[in-house]
Amino acid sequence: MQRKKIISKTVIILCCIMLAAFFIFPILLLFINSFKSLKEIYMSVLQLPETMNLDNYISAFKELDYLNAIKNSLIVTCTVTAANVICCSMAAWVLVRYKTKTSKLIFTIFSVAVLVPFQCVMLPLLAEMGKLNMINMPGLMLVNLGFGSSMSIILFHGFMKNVPVELEEAAAIDGASQPRIFFTIVLPLIKGIAVTVAILNVMSLWNDYLLPSLTINRSGTQTLPLRTYLFFGAYTKKWNLGSAALVMAIIPVIIFYVLCQKHIIKGVTEGAVKG
């Protein structure tokens, strides 16, 4: 019995290691090759680099306009995430607390909208944004807020249904206004789900490519995925620079993951299960 257990544990661990290798090896290979010259890569992609040469990183750093791209991505991601969490929690709160037909209808529209794929609204949206002169960063952020609102409202709505109303009623009897009730009583109670919504927003906004590629036309305001795409347009097959650029583009994500891994894993699970 004991022996059987040890064997089965070893098999499980071996399976895990094999699976882990599958998940790690692309990034590992990119990392290894990012230190090589193009000639070295052509000779063999699998060998370790002869020297730790940082030249690729220096050129890729310049060509990617790295700091600027990160700054732009950060601006879009942070602004939209903050706005999304505040606006959607407000909206979800009134949608839960006002049990009218209008409120039910509005919530249904928000829920159904999750199914609408971007490609379906993309063309009229672009025409409309062009007409309203809402291109580049402000337009991008506004549209992102609108797009993200369905999912966030569904999540907040699901959570707030279970927040007891008595506390709010007591505060109302004490004479607190509704905005005050929301910001001082409700908001602290929903901190957990707010973190979840924020994490989900950050993940999708940071990696978004199509919408920024269609709305941002001023150079210098491109986000990181956009810059990476343009970079590869100019340097196809130059994998020495390409791998360095990719490693640099992945670094912020890794930092984010290491810093808030617990929240991310909880957020992703909760977001999926409740949504």
Residues 33-92 close enough to bind another protein by CB under 8 A:
33, 41, 44-46, 83, 87-88, 90-91
Q: Which of 117, 164, 188, 220 binds another protein (CB under 8 A)?
A: 117
Identify which of 60, 80, 238 has the alpha carbon closest to the alpha carbon of residue 147: 80
Q: Which of 54, 116, 167, 259 binds another protein (CB under 8 A)?
A: 116
- The residue to which tokens 């130059």 are assigned: 238
Site string for another protein, 188-207 (x = CB under 8 A): ---------------x--xx
Please, which residue, 53 or 87, has the CB nearer to another protein? 87
The reply on whether position 142 binds another protein by CB under 8 A is yes
Q: Which of 7, 24, 54, 167 binds another protein (CB under 8 A)?
A: 24
Residues 6+ apart with CB under 8 A from 180: 171
The reply on whether position 12 binds another protein by CB under 8 A is yes
Give the C-alpha separation, 126 to 215, whole Å: 8
Q: Contact at 8 Å (CB) between 84 and 149? A: yes
Identify which of 167, 156, 38, 176 has the alpha carbon closest to the alpha carbon of residue 107: 156
Rounded least distance, CB 51 to another protein, Å: 20
Rounded least distance, CB 143 to another protein, Å: 5
Give the C-alpha separation, 155 to 92, whole Å: 9
Give the C-alpha separation, 89 to 190, whole Å: 9
Rounded least distance, CB 173 to another protein, Å: 8
